[in-house]
Structure 1
Amino acid sequence: MPSSARLSRRRLLVLAAAGALSFALATPATATTWPTQPVRLVVASSAGGNADVVARLLAPEIEKRLRQPVVVENLPGSSGMQGTEAVAKATDDHTLLVGTSSQLVFNLALFDPMPFDLVGALRGVAMINKVPLLLLVNKDEPAASMAAYVESLKARPGQVAYGSGPTGTTTHITGMLWADAVGVELRHVPYRAGSEGLRDLQAGRLSHQFDVAVTAIPQVQSNALKALAVTGRQRLAALPDVPTVAELGYPDFAGYTWNSFAAPSSLPQVAVDRFNQVVAEVLQMPEIRQRLAGFGSEFGGAMTPADVDAFYAEERRVWIPLVREASR
């Protein structure tokens, strides 16, 4: 081959390589480059609540692995719809929702019409944990058991008020379904945040409130409130003397919330997969699992994004008809 031909061929190879590099730099983020800016985790409820506590526990470890700042932002309001809608409409590819059963399931049963297409606008990214609730009463409540407490409520139909977080949240729905299961008539008092209801419960202005184990366990351990039952299928290791509602004569009753990460449906798959991988790694850390277990957590792993979507769909199939029927 003439030297001029060899030179031309070499030049073509160099140009081709340069073109390939330019193409790679111009393509969307890859698993090794995402994220390219701080990641925003939106909690659609108040600071100090279940989702907020869990998000702030995981955020520093997620940040180490993504090598970008991870910021937890509370956007409560409209029973969680404000924060949920903000994430659904985000276009920066770096905003995710710390999604719970309240925002991603129960609100679909209670908001008519929905302000946006929640199911179509959000996709599952990773699961975190599943957590039961505790039936909490004032520490000076005379009833020593749930059975005795139910009898006292039946003697005062419609006169007793129970508290919860905003309408449509897990604490509200669980309280409503429990009242229906045990056959008592109660008045519902929703608060902007569940913590506000707990303060009124401590002051004697409410009769009871269901609260997620993440925030309820410390209240019981400090003797600020008394727990009469837990809504999970098994007793909590942190409170082994508190029986389940099921073992107290209501075998079909169980109540949980769960924490997960959801994102706008437009988030690139490479970003979804990267975040899922990181969450899975963090959830395997012994210290993280120990902390979450102390909150009464049950674990099923991060799941794949497709499995998270399937989980959401099944939760909606089961719970939306029940919530609509109970809230009529």
Structure 2
Amino acid sequence: MFTRRAVLAASLLSAPALAQGRVIRLIVPFAAGGAADSAARTIAPRMGERLGQTIVVENRTGASGSVGGGAVAQAAPDGQTLLWDASSHLVNPALLKGLPFDYATAFTPISLVTTFPQVLAVKAESPVRDLAGFIALAKAQPGTLNIGTQGNATAGHLAVVQLQRLAGITLQHVPYRGGADAARDLAGGNLDAAFITALSAGPVVAAGRARFLAVAAEQRVTVQPEVPTFAEAGLPGLTISEWAALFGPAKLPLATAETLHAALAASLAEPEVQARLAQLAAVPVGSRPADFARFVQEGRQSMATLVREADIRID
């Protein structure tokens, strides 16, 4: 994806649409320390160097990311206030009522930055050793196995919905306020399983307090190469990731969006950045604004359908 030609093109682009020497506020609508926040803090300094500006990461949490989103929706479209959002950006319109802004019109998509594939893990005491065994146990005990996720309407929750549909099983969903909390209860044996990011599950698996069964990605993840994909484990069609993406306010000039994307793409091409993202179990993407705009539009429609058909609720 990051060819020499692409990197060269990015390096040749200056930032005429951005005021040199000013501070860019990068709003992350989630708590510090999570996968999306860590990726933002890895990439933002590199982008700032290329833009000739300082990028300050600001965590504005609350209401499934809509508090931070609202701050950017009200900002001027000058490229000085940006949003680093996650997959909830596509789900929120179908779940949250009475928002002071419209997700469909309040933002300018700039780039899908990284993806964070979801992984299915079970507690250490579980008799399950592979995905087939987990499905068999769930069928033998319908509705009794509890499975934790990062929260309602998150990528993990949507993955649980898809797992139940594809495997013909019924699980008891237990939403948390983040993947780290779900991982903690998985390690303590309070959960039978969890569907969270590899970053959240990794430490408890490494400590021998949980086991990976499968990753919901098209390819195995670098940080856990021994974990099979769902397709390899016998259940094709389950690919879902959390992600981090860059947005600007509505009516952001195309030149500004392209300048920001160029700085982002060049930053993602750096070996040091890629190494750090690999540690976060993140897959770099760096899609162009037009491609990402299509991704957002199509994803919003598909998520609205899934939320309706699965009767997903925010609380």
Which interval holds the TM-score relative to the shorter structure? 0.7 to 0.9
> Which structure's CA Rg is the greater one?
1
Matches within 5 A, 1:279-318: 279-300=264-285, 302-318=286-302
Kindly state the Cα deviation for residue 120 of structure 1 after the two structures are TM-superposed.
Answer: 0.2
In 2, Cα distance between the equivalents of 1:113 and 1:190? 23
1:121 aligns with 2:106: yes
Q: Cα deviations across residues 55-99 of structure 1 (Å, max 9, x unaligned)?
A: 111122122223332121222221222222222122374211112
Contact conserved, 2:28 with 2:84, CA < 8 A, in 1?
yes
Correspondence for 1:274 among 247, 250, 259: 259
Q: Equivalent of 1:164, from 149, 157, 162? A: 149
Comparing 178-187 and 277-286, the one that deviates more: 178-187
Q: Equivalent residue of 1:131, what SS?
A: strand
Q: Report whether the alignment pairs 1:320 with 2:308.
A: no
C-alpha offsets along residues 75-126 of structure 1, whole Å, 9 cap, x if unaligned?
22212222222221223742111122222x1223333565521110011112
Larger helix proportion of the pair: 1
* Structure 1: gaps spanning 5 or more residues: 1-29
Equivalent residue number for residue 242 of structure 2:
257
In 1, Cα distance between the equivalents of 2:188 and 2:209?
10
Question: Residue 30 of structure 2: which of 21, 40, 45 is its match?
Answer: 45
For the residues of structure 2 that align with 1:163 and 1:123, how far apart are their CA atoms? 33
* Matching of residues 85-100 of structure 1 within 5 Å: 85-91=70-76, 93=78, 94-100=80-86
2-structure distance, mates of 1:322, 1:32: 39
Size of the alignment, in residue pairs?
Answer: 297
1:56 equivalent to 2:50? Answer no
SS at match of 1:189: strand
Aligned partners of 1:184, 1:46: CA distance in 2, in Å? 33
**2:67 is the counterpart of 1:82:** yes
The CA distance in 2 between the partners of 1:198 and 1:191, in whole Å, is 10
Aligned residue for 1:118, secondary structure, equals coil
Distance in 2 (CA, whole Å) between partners of 1:162 and 1:268 is 44
Q: What is the DSSP-based 3-state SS (H/G/I as helix, E as strand, rest coil) of the residue aligned with 2:22?
A: coil
Structure 2 matches for 1:162-241, cutoff 5 A? Answer: 162-241=147-226
CA contact (8 A) 1:179 1:186 kept: yes
What is the percent sequence identity of the aligned residues?
35
Report the CA distance between 1:52 and its aligned residue: 0.8
The alignment partner of 1:290 has SS state of helix
Q: Secondary structure at the match of 1:246?
A: coil
- Report the CA distance between 1:180 and its aligned residue: 2.5
Contact 2:119 2:215 in 1 (8 A): yes
- Compare 218-227 and 154-163 and name the one that shifted more: 218-227
- The question of whether the paired residues in 1 share the 8 Å contact of 2:120 and 2:213 is answered with yes
The one of 132, 136, 140 aligned to 1:155: 140
Unaligned runs of 5+ in 2: 1-14
Distance in 2, Cα, partners of 1:325 & 1:181: 15
